[in-house]
Chain A
């Protein structure tokens, strides 16, 4: 399957005089995981929030394909699943209530069954009726991922989703993402972790200081290649300019 789900062209974002993004192009096909890899401050989260429609680009365009028609993100919110840096969950509600609340916002049919399925999927069944405010970072992250999947989105945007997960949870999440990819969904994975990008990504865009410096695809994606790309031509720590 190779059908474009998301196309970004010349995306720029300015915060006052600072240019956070400088003409970013990105094309994400269905059935693929597109990793955006870059160091802290490269503009990864800013880019993802623009792709999700949470922030407006200063220039450029983002189009999301739904059933052959292109929509800007604000008109395609029902097709987007978003796992942000923060969990987007309400601490006073239980895990189940958080999912049911999200299901109501997205008008999900048979919300109870869908919530139960996701709770079990994320190994949260035993704490389904416990308030989310008492969850560990890992449990909160799993609940956040379940919340993002509640409406079965065609485009899933993930901002450092592995942060705070233990080895078992990280492995389970990696399997989930691969399954979503195999089901034909398009995934954008924001990360600064080269090994995760190398393991999961179909395509990797290296983002540096707001610009895509390199795009690596298929068998060319290796840890060494991505490491080299990450270091790029930036000065090494301790180097004399």
Chain B
């Protein structure tokens, strides 16, 4: 566990000093929101609540892809990735530290993007802020588990920027199914369905275990 905390601390300090990941993700997610705002026909905005959840998660997933790509790419400088690979103990704890750092950074961006989305489409997310935060947390956790694993897998490849979304997006189908359904329920009906939450919990558990165990073999050349 100390390895996890060390990685988490290192990634957050590094990001605090460089701010490159959060700013890139934030700008990208805001741009997506603005594009949706102008792309949707004027007449459809009244019925936006039905589709808002899907649009919001599209912005989240594409922004997260940028941050996840950088998660291990920053370890390539000075071959710091080898330092992680050389560390004793189970490498799953390294994965967990990376995934938690990604969760925090992506979560910050999601909060800001969600606020911008609510303003741009005049949707009152405040009344469901707490349960919505829970749903976003569950969805983002699954996203970060799969994304951190695939980020590590693709980091040493020449086409990592292309490879990560190709690997990640199909793996996110079940996460998005649960997250979009739960978010739509919250926006439209004020409460999330149990089935959607259950799906998210199961997928999060599966991705956590698979990624934790699979990470042991990912850092080897």
Cα of A180 to Cα of B176 in the assembled complex, Å: 55
Q: Contact: A92 with B14, CB < 8 Å?
A: yes
Q: Contact: A88 with B18, CB < 8 Å?
A: no
- Return B151 CB to nearest CB of chain A, in Å: 17
- Return B117 CB to nearest CB of chain A, in Å: 31
- Against A, the Cβ 8 Å flags (1 = close, 0 = not) of B71-89 are 0000001111011111111
Residues of chain B at interface, number, CB under 8 A: 24
Of all chain A residues, the one with the shortest Cβ separation from B6 is A104
Question: Does any Cβ of A come within 8 Å of B210's Cβ?
Answer: no
Cα of A77 to Cα of B78 in the assembled complex, Å: 20
Contacts of A101 in B (CB 8 A): 6, 9-10
Question: Does any Cβ of B come within 8 Å of A80's Cβ?
Answer: yes
Contacts of B84 in A (CB 8 A): 105
Contacts of A85 in B (CB 8 A): 79
Question: Does any Cβ of B come within 8 Å of A162's Cβ?
Answer: no
Cα of A106 to Cα of B79 in the assembled complex, Å: 18
Contacts of B88 in A (CB 8 A): 77-78, 105-107
Q: Contact: A77 with B86, CB < 8 Å?
A: yes
Tell me which of A52, A78, A89 contacts B80 (CB under 8 A).
A89
Question: Does any Cβ of A come within 8 Å of B3's Cβ?
Answer: yes
Q: Contact: B82 with A97, CB < 8 Å?
A: no
Q: Contact: B86 with A52, CB < 8 Å?
A: yes
- Against B, the Cβ 8 Å flags (1 = close, 0 = not) of A84-107 are 111111111100010001101111
Q: Contact: A104 with B80, CB < 8 Å?
A: no
Q: Contact: A90 with B221, CB < 8 Å?
A: no
Contacts of A52 in B (CB 8 A): 86
Tell me which of B5, B78, B82, B87 contacts A90 (CB under 8 A).
B78
Cα of A131 to Cα of B3 in the assembled complex, Å: 22
Q: Contact: B86 with A53, CB < 8 Å?
A: yes
Tell me which of B2, B13, B18, B82 contacts A107 (CB under 8 A).
B2
Q: Contact: B14 with A90, CB < 8 Å?
A: yes
Cα of A104 to Cα of B8 in the assembled complex, Å: 12
Contacts of A147 in B (CB 8 A): 83
Of all chain B residues, the one with the shortest Cβ separation from A102 is B83
Known: A82-B82, A92-B18; 19 extra A-B contacts, CB below 8 A, are: A54-B86, A54-B220, A56-B220, A77-B88, A84-B82, A87-B78, A89-B80, A89-B83, A90-B78, A91-B78, A97-B13, A104-B5, A104-B6, A105-B6, A105-B83, A105-B84, A106-B87, A106-B88, A107-B88
Q: Can you sample 16 A-B contacts with CB below 8 Å?
A: A55-B220, A56-B220, A74-B220, A77-B86, A77-B88, A84-B82, A88-B78, A88-B79, A89-B78, A90-B14, A90-B80, A93-B10, A93-B13, A104-B2, A106-B88, A107-B88
- Chain B interface (Cβ < 8 Å from any Cβ of A): 2-3, 5-6, 9-10, 13-14, 17-18, 77-80, 82-89, 220-221
